[in-house]
Structure 1
Amino acid sequence: NFGFDEHLAHARRYERAVEFAEVVEGLWDSWDEGAFVRDKAAGRYFDPAKRHVLDHRGEFFNVRGPLNVERSPQGRPVVVQAGSSEAGKALAARTAEVIFTAQQTLEDAV
């Protein structure tokens, strides 16, 4: 949501968030495990067969990729999504491992 003069409408924010998650996940998968061979003697830094160009063209983002760093040891970080709205919960169900929300009662939280 940074860089906008005002927030997008609620529904549009979540449409954009879905596409953003797709882009980020695609970038995280830019490199297979072991792609960076760093073989100085052979003059080979990475294995081109283990590189994946994202080439995402969407409504909100155009990203060629690949990500300019290798994947982390765990492959992807833990994804956390905040939200209590139906759209927020749907986004979390699709993209996140953790949802955080503020509820006033245990019944509402459940």
Structure 2
Amino acid sequence: MPVPDVQEVARYLRIEDILEEEPEEETFLNDLIDIAVEDLEDSGIKDQTTKRYGMAIKLMVANLYEERRPQVVGTITSNLNYSLERIILQLKARELPEREEQFHES
């Protein structure tokens, strides 16, 4: 699954009706998708062809959409939810070089 389009993300967020009523929401969602792609690229994730990548984009957009401001409770800020954090770690692991290359002697 490559980068999901606005309609896929809207279905995931269950806000298709809002897109029809408020056209500026589509622009906002496009911006959030672009931000999520940039965030994953900056995290070292280049492979955009996996289903995990598409799900990571959806989860990141959902997080950005729902939590437009950081949640602070006392002095504790919340981390990314577990499923998104796990997907990002798995995507990053796919980008690591093969371990056997490190152990070959010259």
TM-score by length of 2: 0.28
Q: Which has the higher strand share?
A: 1
TM-score by length of 1: 0.27
Structure of larger gyration radius? 1
Larger RCO (CA under 8 A, 6+ residues apart): 2
